[in-house]
Chains A and B, each alone.
Chain A
Amino acid sequence: MATLVIAEHNNAVLGAATLNTVAAAKAIGGDIHVLVAGAGCAAVGEAAAQIEGVSKVLVADDAAYANQLPENVAPLIADQAKNYSHVLASATTNGKNFMPRVAALLDVDQISEIVSVESADTFKRPIYAGNAIATVQSSAPIKVITVRSTGFDAVNATGGSATVEPVSGAGNAGKSAFVSEELAKSDRPELTAAKIVVSGGRGMQNGDNFKYLYSLADKLGAAVGASRAAVDAGFVPNDMQVGQTGKIVAPQLYIAVGISGAIQHLAGMKDSKVIVAINKDEEAPIFQVADYGLVGDLFEIVPELERLV
């Protein structure tokens, strides 16, 4: 029994979520191999070989895999997967994009966004926007799984000494092509990996007012998130959205500012260790999950908070 973990990366740097996914693989037991599919991704392969607990790294270096187009990478992964009992990927937009395609190519069901490993064939995963936790058992010969990184503590990025082996696949399927990418620029920590997250909602009133949150976040070394209302109103770009349809975060501290706390938003942050809510409406549902609530005007509270921390 061995597990293949698909590395999350951008061809230059190994994605942090990979370390949480290796932790899930460790909980399953058996040998852990990592597949790096990309173009010019040798450095990622070297980084993956350093991960604690990984015994082999497979590197598929081909221009066709540069942008992780599922039409190209899914056949490669499915082909490699035949030698494994489990195939795991992080539940990032990449993992969510190609893994179900891998599962269907292997003719097995996929288990999405597991948050715990009960045994080699039994896993827990949230359903209904996190309002219920299902325990599911798989009898599939190859278990295809995506891992919610907030459910597992990252393994050490160093300490391993895996062998690196090149592999190849069918390459370009000729069905799709990458056109362009527009990445939001930010110097703050990545939202899903940050220890502290400061999020704003409709109560911020406009995009300009998010400067209060950026300023507080910089003081705390925090990432800045947003509710769907703030994204839809055009205050901030959509990759900042926290929730069922956005990103799932579980930081040490989550500060919700001007966010009412709809269940779709709570689905993305209610596993945070400590939740602080700042809202002028004392009936707002966010106070039901907040460890510390402060009722008042956020435009007075946030600058004062920044001064005092």
Chain B
Amino acid sequence: MKVLVAVKRVVDYNVKVRVKADNSGVDLANVKMSMNPFCEIAVEEAVRLKEKGVASEIVVVSIGPTAAQEQLRTALALGADRAILVESNEELNSLAVAKLLKAVVDKEQPQLIILGKQAIDSDNNQTGQMLGALTGYPQGTFASKVEVAGDKLNVTREIDGGLQTVALNLPAIVTTDLRLNEPRYASLPNIMKAKKKPLETATPDALGVSTTSTVKTLKVEAPAARSAGVKVKSVAELVEKLKNEAKVI
């Protein structure tokens, strides 16, 4: 089967972000960017399905600025076969991204679409589900295990009280949770080979998708800072402070 994987270029998860002084957003100038960690897990799962002989081709797609080519090349180095970049310099909302992905899905006709459960910048956790609604495909969100069984897909999901398994008709959409797998590193020879793999580009206009949004960000602020705490010397002092000063026990 053909597998489509969506990846996003985001600020590296180790970076402590700063809010801009004019409250217009987060300062991303000269900040290290990487592939969203959940997207890495999505790529890894697709590559494992190919290694098992379940997936025949892996197409990786990203929607974002020209620089997102770096993340697509990373995915190619990890084992994806070809890449598609939908170029847009705007900051797109999940619905616009889902509509663009729907256009790519219509063209590519994958049997399985894997996305991360959320991007660590916007923390929305929406795109996979929205793509599910737009394509009419069933969704297996927050997946910690994925098994293809004939024309069905069994997905074990991480839910609030534990785990839940659902069976989905293919084609289907899966969004990855952290425990689905441990992504591999790209080897140097594979990074070199990835440079020769095909990468096509498109634009929202060419795909006939309007990316207008009904949500606008008025301002972005730093969260309220916690006042500095104290270090206590003993357990007795801690208990005394929790009882009498903080009054929480």
Distance in Å from the Cβ of B28 to the closest Cβ of chain A?
Answer: 10
Mask of B237-249 contacts with A, CB within 8 angstroms, 1/0:
0110110001011
Closest to B219 in A: A135
- Say yes or no: B165 contacts A287, CB within 8 Å: no
The DSSP consensus for interface residues of chain B is mixed
Interface-located stretch among A31-39, A93-101, A201-209 = A93-101
A175 touches B161 (CB 8 A): no
B126 interface neighbour in A105, A110, A126, A176, Cβ under 8 Å: A110
With contact pairs A96-B141, A132-B222, A134-B217 given, residues A301 and B160 touching in the complex (Cβ less than 8 Å): no
**CB interface residues, A 106-130, toward B, < 8 Å:** 107-113, 122, 126-130
Select the residue from A126, A133, A138, A253 with max chain B CB neighbours within 10 A. Answer: A133
User: What chain A residues lie within 8 Å of B44 (beta carbons)?
Assistant: none
A252 near B248 (CB under 8 angstroms)? yes
Give bound CA distance, A184 to B142, whole Å. Answer: 17
Residues of A within 8 A of B17 (CB): 128, 131-132
A73 to chain B, nearest CB (A): 12
Q: State whether A253 touches B249 (Cβ < 8 A).
A: yes
Tell me whether B220 and A130 are in contact (CB under 8 A): no
Binds B, one of A46-54, A55-63, A159-167, A239-247: A239-247
Beta-carbon contact of A309 and B249 below 8 Å: yes
Q: Do A92 and B160 have beta carbons less than 8 Å apart?
A: yes
User: Do B217 and A136 touch (CB < 8 A)?
Assistant: yes
The count of chain A contact residues (Cβ–Cβ below 8 Å) is 88
Given contacts A131-B17, A175-B169, contact A273 B248 (CB under 8 A): yes
- When chains A and B are docked, how far (Å) is the Cα of A183 from the Cα of B159? 9
Q: A126 contacts B223, CB within 8 Å?
A: yes
Q: Are B218 and A309 in contact, with the CB atoms below 8 A?
A: no
In the complex with contacts A292-B229, A309-B249, A176-B215 CB distance below 8 A? no
A93 to B226, CA, bound (A): 28
Flag whether A187 is at the interface (Cβ < 8 A).
no
Nearest-CB distance from A156 to chain B (Å)?
23
Number of interchain pairs (Cβ within 8 Å): 248
Task: Provide the B157-174 mask, 1 if CB < 8 A to any CB of A, else 0.
Answer: 111111111111100000
Is A12's beta carbon under 8 Å from chain B?
no
Chain A proximity mask over B199-241: 1 for CB below 8 Å, otherwise 0: 0000000000000011111111111001001111011101101
Q: CA–CA, A89 to B248, complex, Å? A: 30
Within the assembled complex, what's the spacing in Å between the Cα atoms of A274 and B222? 20
- If the complex has contacts A128-B123, A270-B226, are A104 and B98 also in contact, measured as CB distance less than 8 A? yes
CB distance from B173 to the nearest CB of A (A): 10
A71-B139 CB under 8 A given contacts A104-B130, A109-B93, A180-B165: yes
Please provide the chain B residues from 112 to 147 with a CB less than 8 Å away from any CB of chain A in the complex. Answer: 117-118, 120-134, 136-139, 141-142, 144
**A290 an interface residue at 8 Å Cβ cutoff?**
yes
Q: Which of B13, B129, B234, B242 contacts A70 (CB 8 A)?
A: B129
Question: A154: CB under 8 A from chain B?
Answer: no
CB distance B133 to A196 under 8 Å? Answer: no
Distance between B113 CB and nearest chain A CB, rounded to angstroms = 14
Across the interface, which residues of A come within 8 angstroms of B142, CB to CB? Answer: 93, 97
Contacts A176-B167, A253-B246 hold; do A309 and B129 have CB atoms under 8 A apart?
no
Is B196 among interface residues, defined by CB-CB distance under 8 A?
Answer: no
Kindly identify which residue among B132, B133, B230, B236 contacts A293, using a CB–CB cutoff of 8 Å. B230
Bound CA span A97–B157, Å: 11
Determine if B52 is an interface residue (Cβ-Cβ < 8 Å). no
Taking a contact as CB atoms under 8 Å apart, the answer to whether A181 and B141 are in contact is no
The minimal Cβ–Cβ distance linking A122 to chain B, given in whole angstroms, is 7
Given contacts A137-B218, A295-B231, contact A130 B158 (CB under 8 A): no
Q: Which of A100, A133, A174 has the most CB of B within 10 A?
A: A100
B residues with a Cβ closer than 8 A to A are 11, 13, 16-17, 19, 26, 93-95, 98, 117-118, 120-134, 136-139, 141-142, 144, 154, 157-169, 177-179, 213-223, 226, 229-232, 234-236, 238-239, 241-242, 246, 248-249
Q: A residues bordering B, Cβ < 8 Å? A: 67, 69-71, 74, 92-94, 96-105, 107-113, 122, 126-140, 173-184, 192, 196, 220, 228, 231-232, 237-239, 244-245, 247, 252-253, 263-264, 270, 273-276, 282, 287, 289-295, 301, 304-305, 308-309
CB-based closest 10 A-B pairs:
A104-B133, A100-B129, A104-B130, A100-B126, A140-B214, A175-B138, A179-B165, A176-B138, A253-B248, A291-B229
17 A-B contacts, Cβ less than 8 Å apart? Answer: A70-B141, A97-B129, A104-B98, A107-B95, A108-B214, A122-B218, A135-B220, A139-B215, A140-B214, A177-B166, A228-B178, A232-B179, A239-B160, A245-B117, A292-B229, A292-B242, A308-B235
Q: Given known contacts A135-B218, A179-B166, what 18 new A-B pairs fall within 8 Å (CB)?
A: A100-B130, A104-B132, A104-B133, A127-B123, A128-B120, A130-B223, A132-B220, A140-B215, A176-B139, A177-B166, A184-B162, A228-B178, A232-B178, A238-B179, A253-B249, A274-B248, A291-B226, A293-B230
